[in-house]
Amino acid sequence: MTGHDAVDEEQRHLGRLLDRLEELRADTRARLDAVLRTSGGTPQARSERESFARLYSSELAAFSAANLGLYFGRLDMGDGEVRRIGRVGLRDDDEDLTTLLLDWRADHSRPFYLATTARPEGAHRRRHLRTIGRRVIGIHDEYLTAPEDGELPEDHDDVVGESALLEALDTARSGHMTDIVATIQREQDEIIRNPHAGVLVVQGGPGTGKTAVALHRAAYLLYTHRQRLDRSGVLIVGPNARFLDYIARVLPSLGESGVVLRTLADLYPGVRATGPETLRGEEVKGSGEMVAILKAAVRARQLAPRSEVVVRVEGHDLTLAPATVRAARGRARMTRRPHNQAREAFATRIVDALTEQYVAALTDPVGRAEDDAWSPEGDGVGDLGDPARPLLDADDRAELRREVKASREVAEVVDEWWPVLRPERLLADLLSSRERIAEAAGDYVAEDQEALFRRDGAAFSVADVPLLDELAELLGEDPTADGSEADRAWAEQLRQAEEALEILTGSAVQDIEDDLDPEVLMAYDVVDAEALARRHSADSDLTVADRAGADRTWAFGHVIVDEAQELSTMAWRVIMRRSPNRWMTLVGDVAQTSSPAGIDSWHDALSPYVDDRWVLTELTVNYRTPETISAVAELLLAEIDPDASSPRPVRPGRRPVAWREPEPDAVARVVTEEIRAVPSERAVAVLVPDDGGEGDGHGHDGDGGGDHEGDDDEGTPPRYAALAEAAEEVRPGTSVLPLALAKGLEFDVVVVVDPDRVLARSPQGLQDLYVGATRATQELVLVQPGGFGPLLAGIRDRLAAGDRELSA
Ligand SMILES: Nc1ncnc2c1ncn2[C@@H]1O[C@H](COP(=O)(O)OP(=O)(O)OP(=O)(O)O)[C@@H](O)[C@H]1O
């Protein structure tokens, strides 16, 4: 068969596939319309209709998404079987339901990603197809076993489908990440399909495809465990809104729309953390010591009077002694329930104590019983008279108790000493008062206490989010707030489970939470699966993603964290709460940690939660930066950690890294010169220092906000505003970004301005520069006003010497 014939054959098949897809789409559309036209019926019928409507809508979305690049690969197996691989699975409507196209996630598609000449996986030939719309514009064949008439080409290490891969890697970047279904590499495939049902860590240097792998794993898990994950949802947490925007199209392009994408800034429903944070603040607020500080802050709101307080009930003056209130407080704390739930126990004790006095006042006017109650042998709570001589029967007493409980003055004192607290108010009150900070964080040095302080009314920062979440745990639901019936039923189930656990373990659930001993059962473990499922399928028009995203206590079926190295100790606690089953994929690179509260060892971060029961996988090939740029990155990495190994770049560089040393007043000219030279279809970014020195607002893209196209200079530190303007003038739409926002992104050409200033930002300056230098797919330019300092000049000279040696 000639190349021409082969293209014709594939062309015919593509036409058939697209026609079949269209048929299925029309069919699903008709079903959806029929469901939407029906109304009325029993609540059960309504709920069934809603779930069918959701199912058909998501099928429709998947079919529409599959249209582009539907068919991209073919495997000819050794036994003559032909497998065609594409974005979705399609069957013919003949009697046998013949398979026309295999979903890339199906087991039978796997050899397409794994086969090499060394291990052909039963395949004889792999074919990559390039298509535009209905047209096949190219095919590329690789023989995995020797063809009859030719030699077997040499295997290229671990790179599968090399020419298709290199072509994909060379394409201009659009500002949005694209899926990689056609060219997933073996080491990536093994992670995407990894069957481990616990915590899977994906460690890899810059550009190794960690983000791509995480997103494709989400799509794979949804395909393979559809039933389970459709109900419980998948959560993906990324470093900032710009990053989420960058990756937002990948899952829809794979036909998956039910995933909740969040940053830490909006992981706490109802709050958008847009406030600035200092580096010190980030560090202090991220540390595990905050748990004790927040507990102290809650306890500080559980009060007792200094002297006796008189409460008037139905014309009788009843007295509450400080000891009575303290005893009630002690009992309430002993329930080990969250503050707002323990309030009932506190109120009950207060009402009991007052009722006794009330009874005594009516039956024992001389006050003997009361004297007994507060005698040194008394229990501080009093005694309801002598049961041998009851003057009031049980009903009378109950009535008196009701009167005490209903009294406004009693409610007021309960409110004053054990108020209902809400996380947002409590945190704002704590952080805006130096006295309260000193009270709760007495052990901290003055600078750390000061790092916590913020003006009242200021927006919360990203570092505050885990504190709010922690407080929500410590405080519990507001019993006076509305909630859906399903939520209340769920809260009640959890409460009962917690009580059962308390009896089982003899210790408090909150204390278990403190160090989250993995061997200790959590409430979620004992809430029966059925109740969990009922909650997850609660009758509602909203999608799972909507419901899960709005519910702080939602138990996600799978949780994926990208750039997980940035999570502080406090943030890990939030993430773990969202994943009670601990089925997670954590993706990151401990050499890229730029947050002072981030991690430098997976073990340290994870062992408190899962001990050593987590699996480490590694990605070793760099698909983004070409060799020339990787060489600079490698030397920077050696400064961060001499033992770390760099990922191997798959592409040579087109142009060496440019080292430019303009006079300080010529920086804008040099930068604009560089970006003007870049072809218009290529994406360019100018990366500038965060300006995040102590006391400065540190760059977090906290606005949580949507589409960033067109407002690319958002977040530019003021010092670089003029540079941003100049860049915009010569090349509209150029991103001028602080380095912190470049995390996870990539551009064809990257200009890093003032790298020495980045390095000077302690303690993570080296990591920041390493991140910045590895954002480019084609060219890197370093622009240092006044000339490079010793570290970078040294790197430049070593590379130049290496080049001279190579050419000698
Ligand atoms: N198998 C592949 N086929 C085609 N492109 C790929 C493949 N793997 C990765 N890429 C591309 O390489 C680039 C880097 O991938 P990605 O952003 O996922 O890397 P990363 O490890 O998350 O990087 P970083 O840690 O630096 O943010 C992306 O453009 C991605 O699409």
pLDDT band at 364 (very low <50, low <70, confident <90, very high): low
Helix (H) or strand (E) run with residue 646 in it: none
Tell which wins on pLDDT, 592 or 569.
569
Mean pLDDT of 523-542: 53
C-alpha of residue 244 to centroid of ligand 1, in Å: 15
Nearest Cα to Cα of residue 696 among 121, 95, 279, 407: 279
Question: Which residues are within 8 A (CB) of 157 and not within 5 positions of it... i.e. 6 or more apart?
Answer: none
Helix (H, G, I), strand (E, B) or coil at 210: helix
Nearest Cα to Cα of residue 220 among 87, 309, 332: 87
Establish whether 206 is an annotated binding residue.
Answer: yes
For residue 57, is pLDDT > 50?
yes
By DSSP bridging, strand 776-783 and strand 658-660 are parallel
For residue 6, is pLDDT > 50?
yes
The ligand 1 atom at the shortest distance from the C-alpha of residue 213 is 18
For residue 71, give the amino acid letter. Answer: Y
Query: Is the CB of 744 inside a 6 Å radius of any atom of ligand 1?
Result: yes
b vs e for 567-595, b when ≥16 Cβ sit within 10 Å of the residue's Cβ?
bbbbbbbbbbbbbbbbbbbbbbbbbbbbb
C-alpha of residue 560 to centroid of ligand 1, in Å: 16
For residue 794, is pLDDT > 60?
yes
Establish whether 207 is an annotated binding residue.
Answer: yes
Question: Which residues are within 8 A (CB) of 493 and not within 5 positions of it... i.e. 6 or more apart?
Answer: 527, 531
Identify whether the C-beta of residue 133 lies closer than 8 Å to the C-beta of residue 67.
no
Establish whether 270 is an annotated binding residue.
Answer: no
The ligand 1 atom at the shortest distance from the C-alpha of residue 212 is 18
Alpha-helical regions (H) of 678-720? none
Q: Which of 561, 624, 646 to mutate to test the pocket of ligand 1 (most atoms within 8 A of CB)?
A: 624
The ligand 1 atom at the shortest distance from the C-alpha of residue 771 is 26
Q: Other CB atoms closer than 10 Å to residue 376's CB: what's the count?
A: 4
Distance set, CA 27 to CA 34, 63, 75, 94 (Å): 11, 11, 30, 16
The ligand 1 atom at the shortest distance from the C-alpha of residue 563 is 25
Query: Is the CB of 165 inside a 6 Å radius of any atom of ligand 1?
Result: yes
Query: Is the CB of 239 inside a 6 Å radius of any atom of ligand 1?
Result: no
For residue 546, is pLDDT > 90?
no
Nearest Cα to Cα of residue 746 among 703, 793, 780, 717: 780
**How high is the pLDDT of residue 62?**
87
Mean pLDDT of 100-117: 94
Mean pLDDT of 619-645: 92
Question: Which residues are within 8 A (CB) of 111 and not within 5 positions of it... i.e. 6 or more apart?
Answer: 75, 77, 83, 120, 121, 122, 123
Establish whether 205 is an annotated binding residue.
Answer: yes
pLDDT band at 637 (very low <50, low <70, confident <90, very high): very high
Q: Left if phi > 0, otherwise alpha if psi is -120 to 50, otherwise beta: which for 530? A: alpha
The ligand 1 atom at the shortest distance from the C-alpha of residue 589 is 25
Residue 20 to residue 89: CA distance in whole angstroms:
11
Question: Which residues are within 8 A (CB) of 641 and not within 5 positions of it... i.e. 6 or more apart?
Answer: 591
Query: Is the CB of 212 inside a 6 Å radius of any atom of ligand 1?
Result: yes
Report residue 183: phi and psi, to 5°. Answer: -135, 25
pLDDT band at 342 (very low <50, low <70, confident <90, very high): very high
C-alpha of residue 573 to centroid of ligand 1, in Å: 28
pLDDT band at 382 (very low <50, low <70, confident <90, very high): very low
Establish whether 382 is an annotated binding residue.
Answer: no
C-alpha of residue 179 to centroid of ligand 1, in Å: 10
pLDDT band at 378 (very low <50, low <70, confident <90, very high): very low
C-alpha of residue 69 to centroid of ligand 1, in Å: 19
Q: Which of 113, 128, 180 to mutate to test the pocket of ligand 1 (most atoms within 8 A of CB)?
A: 180
Identify whether the C-beta of residue 152 lies closer than 8 Å to the C-beta of residue 163.
no
Query: Is the CB of 169 inside a 6 Å radius of any atom of ligand 1?
Result: yes
C-alpha of residue 169 to centroid of ligand 1, in Å: 9
pLDDT band at 761 (very low <50, low <70, confident <90, very high): confident
Q: Which residues pair with 461 in a beta bridge?
A: 275
Nearest Cα to Cα of residue 211 among 625, 588, 575, 594: 588
In the chain, the domains with their CATH numbers are 309-364+393-417 (no CATH), 627-693+716-806 (3.40.50.300)
Residue 635 to residue 537: CA distance in whole angstroms:
53
Question: Which residues are within 8 A (CB) of 432 and not within 5 positions of it... i.e. 6 or more apart?
Answer: 453, 454, 455, 456, 457, 458
Q: How far is CA 381 from the centre of its chain?
A: 49
Angle (CA) 234-289-565 rounded to 5° is 40
Establish whether 43 is an annotated binding residue.
Answer: no
Establish whether 211 is an annotated binding residue.
Answer: yes
By DSSP bridging, strand 135-143 and strand 99-103 are unpaired
**How high is the pLDDT of residue 125?**
92
pLDDT in tens, 703-737: 333 333 333 445 677 788 889 999 999 998 888 99
Mean pLDDT of 165-193: 88
Distance set, CA 57 to CA 48, 62, 220, 540, 549 (Å): 14, 9, 20, 16, 20
CA-closest residue to ligand 1 atom 8: 209
pLDDT in tens, 423-481: 999 999 999 999 999 999 888 888 999 999 988 888 999 999 999 999 999 999 877 66
**What mean pLDDT, rounded, does the chain reach?**
84
C-alpha of residue 212 to centroid of ligand 1, in Å: 6
CA-closest residue to ligand 1 atom 14: 207
Query: Is the CB of 168 inside a 6 Å radius of any atom of ligand 1?
Result: yes
Mean pLDDT of 682-705: 60
Residues above pLDDT 90, as percent of the chain: 52
Helix (H, G, I), strand (E, B) or coil at 199: strand
Residues above pLDDT 70, as percent of the chain: 82
Q: Left if phi > 0, otherwise alpha if psi is -120 to 50, otherwise beta: which for 303? A: beta
CA-closest residue to ligand 1 atom 1: 184
Query: Is the CB of 761 inside a 6 Å radius of any atom of ligand 1?
Result: no
Query: Is the CB of 166 inside a 6 Å radius of any atom of ligand 1?
Result: no
C-alpha of residue 624 to centroid of ligand 1, in Å: 6
Identify whether the C-beta of residue 426 lies closer than 8 Å to the C-beta of residue 297.
yes
Mean pLDDT of 582-604: 88
DSSP 140: E
Q: Which of 177, 187, 623, 625 to mutate to test the pocket of ligand 1 (most atoms within 8 A of CB)?
A: 623
